[in-house]
Structure 1
Amino acid sequence: MEDQVEQAVEIALSSNVDSNLKQQAMAFCNQIKESSDGWQVCLALFMSERKRSPAVRFFALQVVDDALVKHLNGNQKQLDESSLASVKDALLSYIQREYGPQNTAETDAVFMQNKLAQTITYFFLLSYPHTWPTFYDDLIALSSIGGHLQNARGLQLFLRILLSQHDEIADTLIQRSNDDARRNVTIKDEIRAADMNKLADLWRQILVQWTNREDGYLITDNCLRVIGSWVSWIDISLIVTPQYMQLIFSILGNESLRGAACETLSEIVSKKMKSADKLELIGLLNLPQLISQLPLGSDPEFTEKVARLTNVVCTDLIKILDESQLPPQLIETAENLLEQYMPFAITFLSNEFDDTSSEVFPTISDLLSLLRKEKKRNHPLTPNRLAMVTSILKTVIVKLKYDETMDFHNGSDDSENEFLDIRTRLRLFQDAVAAIDEDLFMDTISSVVMDCLSKQDWREVELGLFELGAYSDGLRNAAALPAKGRESSKAIGLLDNMLLRMTSSNVLSIGHPAINLLYLELVVKNSKFFESHQHLIPQMLEIFVSGVGIHSSYVQVQVRSWFLFYRFIKLCKAMIGDIAETALGAIGDLLVIKAELAQRDENDSDMSEPGAGETDNIDSRLYLFEASGIFVSVDSVSDDKQITLIKNILNPIFLDLEQSLPRAPEDSRLALQVHHDMMAIGTFARGIADGGKQITEPVREQFLLASRAILVSLETLSGLEIIREASRFAFARMVPILGQSILPEIPILVNRLLTESSTPELIDFMSFLGQLIHSFKGEPGMFDMLDQVLTPLLNGIFYALSVSANGSTDEEIQQTDMKKAYLSFMLGVLNNGMGAVLASNTNRPMLDSVLQSVAHYTTTSNDSFIKKMGSSVYPRLEEIRNKSYQ
């Protein structure tokens, strides 16, 4: 039978056998697992003196484990007392044979030792202390030769068992049932009462006997790991003794083991205990003297672990200081200890390796959080704490700078992204300092900015601009600066000085993309600054339209600058003055639309999604069209000049539409070109409406031409969703310009849109139509328009709602959204005094269907919004119907 199991496992794991045979082998293995005596076969297979392959033996232990765990959990009592006794004898016999001092053969691989340790741990849970009270004594005896712990392979297995035991009975990261938790508490109590003293002494002996041996690394390392894991639930006094601590401290001088020793110390300090006891422990360890003597810096991995140890101590001290009720003597002790440790934490924060710096982030965060709380309690900063905060701020500022090994890639480089992530977290520390001591923050940052803006190294300048951004953000952010600080003349005055320094500096001559981009971001963020310095606006516009900004040779900078340029124009439009036409001329070369398709399968002609496949940055380029709309509509531009400028922008688009449409149905790129042209018209219209200049009849006439061009395009390409989407977009943006003039165009738009509109499109269109109804309610043209479009629209809605969702969650959500949009639309019609349109000669035949649909959706839907909306709409519709029959 054992041979059959071996053969089945090897076949199941082989990649070179027939699939049917493989399936049979896997079925046989599963049958062995589930059978009541399979564990016996597998235990014998594992114990066999003829060693099978590691994979077979691993499988055998898995089957034994399953039986032990099922018995342990009470699911299947496959093991009676006799069976348990045989398992114990078998395990002891195997360990004595394979791990005893007399065996000189090659030991099991590490993964097999770990698996065996796990199996023994499961059996330990079943047998300790009742049926195997001498568990630890038996394993210690196997690890000894002549009374000394000299059996290396036996020790290795024993230590692996101890690590496995901790995982099963004490690891707090593993969730356990109440029964398992109670069982584990009982076992730990028994260990503490019967065996813990001998185990603690055993670990000490191992450290004494094996630390300095050439072959002792693995044993000492595992012993330290055992101490570090078990210390969380044993009596700390067994470990924290002068003799024990001196041993661990001495291991810190061993280059190969010092990392493990450091981690063990971290676990010792992390042990939960009362504040007084924790302070006593930290004082007893006297780690500052120890850390100052360690060879830090040459080994980044070890330095990181020492940083972690420092963080553990500091966070515990800060937690103690944050307690609401603490005797003054303990507060003084904790404060003195924190003053000893914080210089180390700040030194680690400044480390060139971000992994090391990150280890003390919790300490910095907790300390700053504590100081913020104390400020709210009106507790002033002591000189020592002020010194800590000052040191933290200065260290953070240094860490915020790009180092010499890194260049700017604007988020396209992994190492830079890691730095930017660290930078974001460091920025939070800086903001916290601002909340603790605004004067310190303002004076330090302004000094750094002024100094950096005088440098020529791009990293220095970038730091200065970054900190200027942090300062200006803090001035607007209540979380960063208290209201008093935000509104103080000092805070605003310092910002004003820094911005003046920036705008008068020569930093843009460096020509680095990081500087250019940050500079423009700051100009936009601080647009209010230009209200009191309007003479600088021409200079800023000149910078924007130059190679620094929208004409940058760096594509990412260029594209981002298009948006920033638009934002600056929008925010400062009232101050642009006579330079609008000049600025518009400077961007004319960018107001050219050229659609490009991404590489795709030649058979893929799907153009259903807006902007499908585009690689032409059209979304960003549209910001330039919107900015152009603002430029031509500022008050300084005369009416005649405005019309000329509008024609200069629209006529090329009209011509492009005229040339593209004939071939667009067969050419995906030209169809995309038409989409882009329509989006540009709508975006340009939005800019004009936002410019502030009164809309004149000649302007309106130009956009009536645009609306008709769009309708022609829609008629030609109504089967493409991107065209339908662009036409809705453009018409919605032209409403403020065209006013009532747009109403006669809407029925044509509706008829062309409804031919193939999807549910989401119908929802969007109902929203657009609802806005028109609200904007032009009471206008004669509105009633006539709605009278023409209502029946076709309702037919489209009813058809969309009649289509089954086919069990698809997305489709069910769309149907619910459609019902909500439909009821909201009907309520908008009623609330805006347009209910009579439902009873007109054109729409009266639909009125009963409308009533029935509202009643049906209201009574059958589980959605509270639909029920509430329907209950509001139905009685008003019924009233309209009753009146129509009178």
Structure 2
Amino acid sequence: RPISCDDHVKFFCFQVLEHQIKYRTLMAIDAEVVDRDILHSPEEVRRNTLIKDGMREQVIPSLVESWYQILGAYQQSHPEITCQCLEVVGAYVSWIDLNLIANDRFVNLLLSQMSVEDLREEACDCLFEIVNKGMDPTDKTKLVESLCQVLQSAGFFNVDQEEDVDFLAKFSRLVNGMGQSLVLSWTKLAKGGDVKAAAEALRALETKVPLLLQLLVHDDDDISANIVGFCYDYLNVLKQDIMLAVMKKLTYDEEYNFDNEGEDEAMFVEYRKQLKMLLDRLAQVSPDLLLEAVGRVFNNTIQRWQTASFMEVEVAIRLLYMLGEALPASHGAHFSGDTAKTSALQDMMRTLVSSGLSGYQHTFFETVVRYDKFFLVEPQHIPNVLMSFLDHRGLRHSSPKVRSRVAYLFSRFVKTLHKHMNSFIEDILSRIQDLLELAPPENGFPALLTSDDQLFIFETAGVLIVHGESPAERKQALMRSLLTPLTDAFRLLLAKLASEREEERQAALADCLSHAVGFASRTSKAFSNKQTVKQCGCTEVYRDCLQTFLPALSCPVQRGSLRSAVRSFLHRMIICLEEEVLPFVPAASEHMLKDCEAKDLQEFIPLISQITAKFKDQVSPFLQQVFMPLVLAIFEVLCRPAEDNDQAAALEKQMLRRSYFTFIQTITSSGMNEVLANQGVENVERVLFTIIQGAVDFPDPIAQKTCFIILSKLVELWGGKDGMAGFPDFIYKHIVPACFLAPLKPSFDLTDAQTVLGPEFIQYLQQEYLPSLQVSPDITQEVCQVLQQPDAKVLKNYMKAFFQRAKL
């Protein structure tokens, strides 16, 4: 070959050999031949190229193999030789075939040396040279990701502030190189139009941001400075309208099909998730940059929205919507505080609501409600937005899904801004009147809104009426006009249900009746402590509703659904009407206790408990009257036989038993002991036995705890200041053993019983109870002494041992 005849080349090669003999390194070749920082003449460049080509062809594979052997053989015995070899590998990586180095055996060896204290800094440098080697962007992404996965698995991504700063400086340089390599790969792939590979590079880049932030905030300046390049490159990627670039690659020309969930729609939903992650990350790094980037994308798109594709506009509005999640704001206060932020957001919202974009229903109404505080600042835009909610763009849109979502959003919009809608109230109520109609099953016409959607519309109507500035007389008239059609329809449908024989038809009518009750109940959510039913003059309106709905409780068919609906309405009326509801309670209770099932009782008990807790002495006569009928109904259901393997029935009985105990607890906790005491000795004893049984026998910790609370409260109520005075002997004799046995259950603490019962508890155990169990005087004395110790743990351990001895 001609190269062998070149005296200059021969001389240089002899120099290399001499240097290798002296220093056992090949670094001279890199410095003279391939170091790009050294200026060379054209002739020297030609010479260097020939040398490198010759080495690649003849000796590099052998050199690489020798490096691998040296790195493996001397990493323990001669770490200084291993470090020199790592330097050589790093120097050669940039111009030799990377496949010789970037393979499993070589990379795994390098990664293992990352955990060796004497070698890890040089191993970092070597890996840095590998990831910085010029190569195909897709291959570079795969290489960096494979290295990162191993490093992360080995725990290197969990940066410890106490770690050796020299190593972290090297590691941060490596992370910086990996990050910048991914940025370069994404840039090349995005420009080349390779959407899939670009997205993979972007995802790889995003997953490195947490590590970037850990290193960026490190206390050591060198470590922090080494990562700045990656940080700036990452921010620059975001600043290059990455959101718009990704959007253009992932959108499609056809409009979003709101009533279909096909592949395109699924892709769009997935895109949103990726976009949200990107925005959240950018908000952490630079909120100002995020605001500026979204503003540029939004404004550029909206300015040409009439010629832009549907999806471009959709995503531009979505970006504005997501900005509200990414930027921190207390209680949605995006329009107060930082002037630059509020000004930018106000400009975008003003553009949104003024540009006729409400045809983009999938995001327009969501965004309007997300930034409803904007309308407090600029209320002049409310009328236009109200119209978009009310017409074909919103509540009367062709898509049922859009109408359903808008019904909910409209209610939220009105709740926030009702103070600015006073002059529009009656116009709004007029426009939504047909949406408030009860849709009986026989009319055959599909309703614009489902019954669930109508709940939001009724609540919205209630808010407008209650919080308007009209006098009480006008509010009463508006509320009556809202609810009278419901009550009129209810009477007609209830009469039809009573005479209907077909079961399917009965169920449809019962559903419609239940919806009517639910709608009336939903309007009451508009009232508050400042705007009560009474203050608004609406007491009589809701009393009329109660009068209309209560007969449904005695309907012979479809009792379950009708009773449930009326019970729910009664719950609301107890809150809204207060004492005005009491005259209706006795008759309602009588109807609900007839032919009842476990579920009926379980739902009825919370109603009675609510009345008891709220009105206390006012309902004492009623409670004394209804107490035993309710208790006997519960006992009757609990005693009904059931299949041994019927788990549903067993669970139903368990829940009913818990409800029963909770009801007794409510009475005792309300200080209404006369309700129980006036039931007669036999009934009181029967009830108390069930409480004792619940505390000791049933394997239900929740019920046990409730029963023990009841027993303790009864002792407190009936024991009085004089302890045993006025306390029936039979109650004491049953409660004390129950309290004594309570430590057998994990929910109880016997020290609680002693605290409540006082010295009489110890006296009764010592003189009567323990002797009745044939416990010796010595053991009895020991037990009583332990019981008086304040340490609950000592007591628990002692009682455990006590009962174990008793079994023996």
* TM class by smaller structure: 0.5 to 0.7
Task: Kindly provide the CA deviation profile for residues 346-389 of structure 1, in whole angstroms up to 9, marking residues without a partner as x.
Answer: 65589978764564465234322123334554758725422313
Q: Distance in 2 between matches of 1:574 and 1:278?
A: 68
Q: Are residue 594 (structure 1) and residue 439 (structure 2) matched?
A: yes
Q: Distance in 2 between matches of 1:568 and 1:533?
A: 14
Distance 1:488 1:772, change over 3 A: farther
Q: Distance in 2 between matches of 1:371 and 1:286?
A: 17
Task: Kindly provide the CA deviation profile for residues 49-72 of structure 1, in whole angstroms up to 9, marking residues without a partner as x.
Answer: xxxxxxxxxxxxxxxxxxxxxxxx
Task: Kindly provide the CA deviation profile for residues 294-353 of structure 1, in whole angstroms up to 9, marking residues without a partner as x.
Answer: xxxxxxxxx6x8754453345567885764442534543442353233321465589978
In 2, are the aligned partners of 1:455 and 1:461 still within 8 Å (CA)?
no
Q: In the TM superposition, what is the alpha-carbon distance from 1:648 to its structure 2 partner? A: 1.8
1:722-741 superposed matches below 5 A = 722-741=561-580
Match of 2:709 in 1: 872
Match of 1:755 in 2: 594
Q: In the TM superposition, what is the alpha-carbon distance from 1:874 to its structure 2 partner? A: 1.5
Secondary structure at the aligned position of 2:257 is classed as: coil
Q: Are residue 826 (structure 1) and residue 659 (structure 2) matched?
A: no
Q: Distance in 2 between matches of 1:858 and 1:688?
A: 42
Task: Kindly provide the CA deviation profile for residues 239-296 of structure 1, in whole angstroms up to 9, marking residues without a partner as x.
Answer: 99x99x999969xxxxxxxxxxx9x96898688534348656645656853315xxxx
In 2, are the aligned partners of 1:279 and 1:334 still within 8 Å (CA)?
no
233, 236, 257: which one aligns with 1:387: 233
Match of 1:220 in 2: none
Task: Kindly provide the CA deviation profile for residues 658-697 of structure 1, in whole angstroms up to 9, marking residues without a partner as x.
Answer: 2212332432322221121111121123235589365258
Q: In the TM superposition, what is the alpha-carbon distance from 1:568 to its structure 2 partner? A: 1.5
389, 398, 413: which one aligns with 2:262: 413
In 1, are the aligned partners of 2:673 and 2:717 still within 8 Å (CA)?
yes
Distance 1:286 1:575, change over 3 A: closer
One-letter amino acid matched to 1:573: H
1:73-222 superposed matches below 5 A = none
Q: Distance in 2 between matches of 1:442 and 1:647?
A: 48
In 1, are the aligned partners of 2:257 and 2:265 still within 8 Å (CA)?
yes
Q: Distance in 1 between matches of 2:531 and 2:108?
A: 64
Task: Kindly provide the CA deviation profile for residues 760-780 of structure 1, in whole angstroms up to 9, marking residues without a partner as x.
Answer: 4433332233223233234x2
Distance 1:359 1:745, change over 3 A: same
Q: In the TM superposition, what is the alpha-carbon distance from 1:441 to its structure 2 partner? A: 1.6
One-letter amino acid matched to 1:371: L
One-letter amino acid matched to 2:297: V
208, 212, 231: which one aligns with 1:371: 212
1:212-611 superposed matches below 5 A = 273-275=112-114, 276=120, 279=124, 282=127, 289-292=134-137, 307-313=141-147, 323-324=159-160, 325=163, 326=167, 328-345=169-186, 356=197, 359-360=200-201, 363-374=204-215, 377=218, 379=224, 382=228, 384-392=230-238, 394-400=241-247, 403-405=251-253, 407-410=255-258, 412-456=261-305, 457=308, 458-476=310-328, 488-508=338-358, 511=359, 515-595=360-440
In 1, are the aligned partners of 2:396 and 2:403 still within 8 Å (CA)?
yes
Q: In the TM superposition, what is the alpha-carbon distance from 1:461 to its structure 2 partner? A: 2.1
Task: Kindly provide the CA deviation profile for residues 712-765 of structure 1, in whole angstroms up to 9, marking residues without a partner as x.
Answer: 122115643221221122222223332211112122222322335444443333
Q: In the TM superposition, what is the alpha-carbon distance from 1:452 to its structure 2 partner? A: 2.7
Distance 1:395 1:278, change over 3 A: farther
Distance 1:266 1:543, change over 3 A: farther
In 1, are the aligned partners of 2:586 and 2:622 still within 8 Å (CA)?
yes
Secondary structure at the aligned position of 1:289 is classed as: coil
Distance 1:351 1:824, change over 3 A: farther
One-letter amino acid matched to 2:439: K
Secondary structure at the aligned position of 1:777 is classed as: helix
Q: Distance in 2 between matches of 1:375 and 1:752?
A: 71
Distance 1:286 1:698, change over 3 A: closer
Identical pairs, percent:
17
Secondary structure at the aligned position of 2:409 is classed as: helix
Match of 1:625 in 2: 458
Task: Kindly provide the CA deviation profile for residues 100-136 of structure 1, in whole angstroms up to 9, marking residues without a partner as x.
Answer: xxxxxxxxxxxxxxxxxxxxxxxxxxxxxxxxxxxxx
Distance 1:426 1:463, change over 3 A: closer
Give me the TM-score of the superposition, normalised by structure 1: 0.60
In 2, are the aligned partners of 1:861 and 1:867 still within 8 Å (CA)?
yes
Distance 1:748 1:539, change over 3 A: same
Q: Distance in 2 between matches of 1:695 and 1:391?
A: 61
Q: Distance in 1 between matches of 2:354 and 2:455?
A: 31
Give me the TM-score of the superposition, normalised by structure 2: 0.66
Q: In the TM superposition, what is the alpha-carbon distance from 1:655 to its structure 2 partner? A: 2.0
1:58-73 superposed matches below 5 A = none
In 2, are the aligned partners of 1:635 and 1:692 still within 8 Å (CA)?
no
In 2, are the aligned partners of 1:766 and 1:822 still within 8 Å (CA)?
yes
In 1, are the aligned partners of 2:609 and 2:666 still within 8 Å (CA)?
yes
Q: In the TM superposition, what is the alpha-carbon distance from 1:556 to its structure 2 partner? A: 0.8
Secondary structure at the aligned position of 1:877 is classed as: helix
CA RMSD, Structure 1 to Structure 2 (Å): 4.2
Q: Distance in 2 between matches of 1:423 and 1:267?
A: 40
Q: Distance in 2 between matches of 1:796 and 1:443?
A: 68
Gaps of 5+ in 1: 1-199, 205-235, 251-261, 293-302, 600-613
Q: In the TM superposition, what is the alpha-carbon distance from 1:816 to its structure 2 partner? A: 3.6
In 2, are the aligned partners of 1:351 and 1:357 still within 8 Å (CA)?
no
Task: Kindly provide the CA deviation profile for residues 619-647 of structure 1, in whole angstroms up to 9, marking residues without a partner as x.
Answer: 12111111111122124123232222222
Gaps of 5+ in 2: 1-60, 66-85, 115-119, 720-725, 730-808
Distance 1:835 1:582, change over 3 A: farther
Match of 1:787 in 2: 624
